[in-house]
Structure 1
């Protein structure tokens, strides 16, 4: 595998490929990055098979053709281009495709439209250059990803369900939730299925942390029903969907466009108008009672007097003259009220067309700090899940401001470190705070300020530096032991998705279970004798793989990448509640959970020889 980049994501991806997928990696970095002490990545030895998987660094100012050849791209299985500049990645991808037509490409691009066109172009180039390439290899030959898009689901899951062990399949967020050992006769909900039995028991309160510290027992991955029943009180990891447990949107949805009547006119203005209407009714009723006019004519005369368009009642009775004067006084009070209402409505509609303010009665929402590249993607996912959100952003020209305006999401413009900004976001009635600015110090300062306003607030803050994040987490946990605090790094969250794409687009994600890893993949049943013609129960091999879901979409209409978010209006096409007796047909596509060795056996791959280097392998079309 070859990884090229100019920021922390390249190092994270290289470590993910080495540690999780046991791949040899060549890491190409700019000279100033490769020579720094932070760029030192050491070899690791797998305790299972004793094989060495290494990351070797090389310095190159840019991913030009000569540098790609020195990295062995012409003989590599996959190449990741992770430069922050979309144009740099585009040029390098075109050069790499010429050097190795069968190369699997993973490209980082924020521009979705350009990335889609580039993906089609490179796939067509591979199809023309390699005439015998099958459909599965073509689908996985080029994958365009965005670190913002791939990190957003885990950030959303952290805010909603307090987890980052998330896999996305057909737009559905799934999490691997750790369940403690049951006490007494109460059996917890098994979720979609049981993925693993933990080393922790009812007598081991430290659980997986204790096993990481030097224990010899390992978790049991993909156990069968008998093993689960005889687990002797061990904790479990179950697969379940990510759902919001808090209140949903209020009846007046925050996301709709326009403004309700209650926000156009203030309560004081509405009460004043009600007083004017009551006075008119009283005057009309009095006129009808004290004169000979019928009620309709009395109301007509009252309105004429109110708007000062009636003739003076010089020849009328004293009662009529007094009522006319009173109607004129009410009309004088109505004039400034109409002017005030027009000005207030004009200002409200202008504000509504730009940015909405948080409603006064809002509660149970999530405060999203930062509407940059990451915050904009997270906002989109939160609104897809129908979660109430209030955004806080200092820069009125931030990338996510137009998105918030289109979605009708309330936004507070201001520096979060200043007094009153978090109060305006109704932080004291919020469920969680997502601090996602690019500044670690700003995120930390906002977290501390929010905790002063609400001590039990759930917080997830974006921190890049690992040592700094560890110190912050321990300090906040000690200061607020009852509050949930999670620190997340975008590069850490995005690296598994990029690594899965490098292994082939069929990889949906990976979830760590103590010291082991479970992979989630989408496979066609055809060509896999372990699955084809078997029932779901017969295809299950404990400790190796398990069929979780079936893609019920028409084969011609299937999306090649189940890990992507469906287009607007598309419905999930995965059936998770499979009957054990369902027979798997060759044209079926299934989602499985597998160990590394189990997936390698299903794909017909043999473990690499310890001495094999990445430049001695030919690209594989298994993905």
Structure 2
């Protein structure tokens, strides 16, 4: 008698101790029904304890992932390994070690440096390199701008968001609700209230050039850097010159322009004795000279001090001219830097704020790209005023401290706002989604989000296979955007494109047609167009729907 073997759960290894490692471990052990072994330095850490409490997750303590740690984690039985530490160099070393111990095993590596990561992926088989901050930045920026988010699908520009955020008519609904029930990828006749839809992006317009008066920057410098003592000194000099010119013009038979010329030279260059001049003129010369000797050094010192302070402030105290419609990004760590880069790619002006000029990776990036930088605590209103938040369109609190981000949002709300620029959008980076929901109730008109929660679905999906391009989270569920190749003689070969669509499971977005080893084009097929074995199907699907589609596009077993 043959006894059917119970299907084993997939085996995964996760290296890392942080919010991303926790969320990926949770997704792999629940949504993807796998057994997860986490390698981390200390099991009693905050996230280590959270991971240890999960079902189907076990902990292996090791100062660093080495041969012994992977032996105890049973690397020989693992289907995939995810390296999620915030250490590019350490992740490179560990990836090489894993490939040496088990060549060809599925590897997902967290990197910040795109060029370095791409180079590593090219030299390691079956390896994907992802950046958590790069994945999280576009949806965070979309929140700040109140726009739909672009999907990472090469060859076709798609956006997802609320139906009223889409630039045109929605192609179809991704998630809808009926009462308290939510449905993913409902049929067109499901009668649900759409919450997330997908559509074609409109071409990006050329960034509007900001008009500025020629003397705008000069006047802003004057207002920001010249204190009241300089104005007092200038007022005294002007008063002396006007009074002296009037007296000389009235007491001597000379034109007032000549009188002004003589008084200005006496004031700024000192006076030469003129014994033949009238008594009043000599008196004016003496008074003007004495006053100028006292006032001009004071004025010179004040101006030099203002210039020096302005030069120092140019590096640490924000814009040197008035700004409006910009985004203030507070926190120049990994996430803040990626957010700033995304804004620059979109042609949106920004101001960077960081607590210290301590070598955070975002400060050199901002200065290199001409972004004004303010050094100071973003929870202080004077720091936010230096970033000109009163005329900004949004503030994004991207520090790694939840409490600091809440304080930044509250401080931003207390800064007087220019009514012409509408309501300030506030995006907060928080770790815990439940905490974010409570903060949303505490601070109205704010958008708390977890960067690790935004990035973890893409990491977890990549662990499952290399064909996942992007993810669309909704509540506690996630949709996967994937590119699935069709094999010869598969179930869908020669079938119409509409057969890919399965309500609640999968919808076809586009078809990629590779020819002669090169990607020739991407197109959205008609429902009745037949599919060929060399086509790649670009779909959005649930996890189970993607697994079924993979089976339908796979080559038949002999």
Q: Please say whether Structure 1 and Structure 2 have the same fold, judged by a TM-score greater than 0.5.
A: yes
Q: Are positions 1:5 and 2:30 aligned together?
A: no
Q: Given the alignment, which residue of 1, 26, 33 partners 1:23? A: 33
Give the whole-Å Cα distance in 1 for the aligned partners of 2:359 and 2:521: 37
Aligned position for 1:565: none
Q: Given the alignment, which residue of 76, 79, 88 partners 1:86? A: 88
Asked whether the 8 Å contact 2:353–2:378 carries over to 1, the reply is yes
Aligned position for 1:39: 51
Asked whether the 8 Å contact 2:351–2:371 carries over to 1, the reply is yes
3-state SS, counterpart of residue 358 of structure 1: coil
Compared CA separation, residues 417 and 471, structure 1 to 2 (3 A): same
Q: Are positions 1:238 and 2:193 aligned together?
A: no
Aligned position for 2:3: none
Q: Given the alignment, which residue of 164, 170, 181 partners 1:211? A: 181
Give the whole-Å Cα distance in 2 for the aligned partners of 1:334 and 1:172: 66
Give the whole-Å Cα distance in 2 for the aligned partners of 1:594 and 1:501: 14
Alignment of 1:217-616 (within 5 A): 218-221=183-186, 223=187, 227=188, 230-232=189-191, 234-235=193-194, 237-240=196-199, 241=201, 250-251=210-211, 352=314, 354=315, 357-358=318-319, 361-399=322-360, 400-453=362-415, 457-476=424-443, 483-513=444-474, 517-525=478-486, 527=488, 529=490, 537-538=497-498, 540-543=500-503, 544-550=505-511, 589-604=536-551
Asked whether the 8 Å contact 1:108–1:144 carries over to 2, the reply is yes
3-state SS, counterpart of residue 117 of structure 2: helix
Q: What is the Cα deviation at residue 392 of structure 1?
A: 1.7
Asked whether the 8 Å contact 1:104–1:142 carries over to 2, the reply is yes
> Whose relative contact order is higher, 1 or 2, with alpha carbons under 8 Å and at least 6 apart?
1
3-state SS, counterpart of residue 181 of structure 2: helix
3-state SS, counterpart of residue 99 of structure 2: helix
Asked whether the 8 Å contact 1:93–1:107 carries over to 2, the reply is yes
Asked whether the 8 Å contact 1:524–1:589 carries over to 2, the reply is yes
Compared CA separation, residues 334 and 413, structure 1 to 2 (3 A): same
TM-score by length of 1: 0.65
Give the whole-Å Cα distance in 2 for the aligned partners of 1:416 and 1:500: 35
- Deviations along 1:328-354, one digit per CA (max 9) or x if unpaired, are 9xx9999999999898777656655x3
Q: What is the Cα deviation at residue 152 of structure 1?
A: 1.6
Equivalenced residues, count:
521
Aligned position for 2:286: none
Aligned position for 1:66: 68
Compared CA separation, residues 357 and 513, structure 1 to 2 (3 A): closer
Give the whole-Å Cα distance in 1 for the aligned partners of 2:136 and 2:532: 34
Give the whole-Å Cα distance in 1 for the aligned partners of 2:156 and 2:346: 10
TM-score by length of 2: 0.72
Q: What is the Cα deviation at residue 72 of structure 1?
A: 2.8
3-state SS, counterpart of residue 391 of structure 1: strand
Compared CA separation, residues 155 and 412, structure 1 to 2 (3 A): same
3-state SS, counterpart of residue 324 of structure 2: coil
3-state SS, counterpart of residue 250 of structure 1: coil
Give the whole-Å Cα distance in 1 for the aligned partners of 2:438 and 2:432: 10
Give the whole-Å Cα distance in 2 for the aligned partners of 1:37 and 1:103: 28
Give the whole-Å Cα distance in 2 for the aligned partners of 1:41 and 1:574: 47
Q: What is the Cα deviation at residue 103 of structure 1?
A: 0.5
**What stretches of structure 2 of length at least 5 have no aligned partner?**
1-11, 242-253, 255-263, 276-288, 418-422, 554-558
Asked whether the 8 Å contact 1:168–1:508 carries over to 2, the reply is yes
Compared CA separation, residues 219 and 78, structure 1 to 2 (3 A): closer
Q: What is the Cα deviation at residue 384 of structure 1?
A: 0.8
Aligned position for 1:610: none
3-state SS, counterpart of residue 43 of structure 2: helix
Asked whether the 8 Å contact 1:248–1:387 carries over to 2, the reply is no
Give the whole-Å Cα distance in 1 for the aligned partners of 2:357 and 2:348: 23
Compared CA separation, residues 531 and 432, structure 1 to 2 (3 A): farther
Give the whole-Å Cα distance in 2 for the aligned partners of 1:575 and 1:340: 65
Q: What is the Cα deviation at residue 424 of structure 1?
A: 2.0
Give the whole-Å Cα distance in 2 for the aligned partners of 1:457 and 1:555: 52
Compared CA separation, residues 305 and 78, structure 1 to 2 (3 A): same
Aligned position for 2:137: 152
Aligned position for 1:568: none
**What stretches of structure 1 of length at least 5 have no aligned partner?**
44-54, 127-140, 181-187, 201-206, 213-217, 254-258, 280-290, 292-302, 315-327, 477-482, 559-572, 607-623
Q: Are positions 1:194 and 2:172 aligned together?
A: yes
Q: What is the Cα deviation at residue 552 of structure 1?
A: 8.2
Give the whole-Å Cα distance in 2 for the aligned partners of 1:260 and 1:379: 24
